[in-house]
Amino acid sequence: MKVISEQEYTEYNDLMQQAEEHNKKLHRTKDVNIADILTWEDRDAIAKIVDNRVAKEYGDMYPFKWQFSCSGHFIC
């Protein structure tokens, strides 16, 4: 684990505060990582859809590696 300096800690907190203020102006709440709420069955279904569509569109001569990220937020 990296130990951060007091300056880095302060800069990080300043950035987080700026992000909170920005979100308040947009009437947004904290961002939500959608991947955290997906079950393994959900993830498997999404992976099958992506793999099948990529194979159909581009073929399957070479291994296809991909990653999935998805986030959202509430509008208040």
pLDDT digits (tens, 9 = 90+) for 47-60: 999 999 999 999 98
* Helix H or strand E segment including 72: strand 71-72
CA–CA separation, 8 vs 10, rounded Å? 5
Structure token digits, residue 72: 């959202």
Positive or negative torsion for Cα 54, 67, 72, 46: positive
CA–CA separation, 36 vs 39, rounded Å? 8
What was the pLDDT predicted at 27?
67
What was the pLDDT predicted at 46?
93
Tens digit of each residue's pLDDT (9 = 90 or more) over 25-50: 776 667 778 888 899 999 999 999 99
What was the pLDDT predicted at 1?
62
pTM of the complete model: 0.53
For residue 70, give the nearest of 23, 33, 31 by alpha carbon: 33
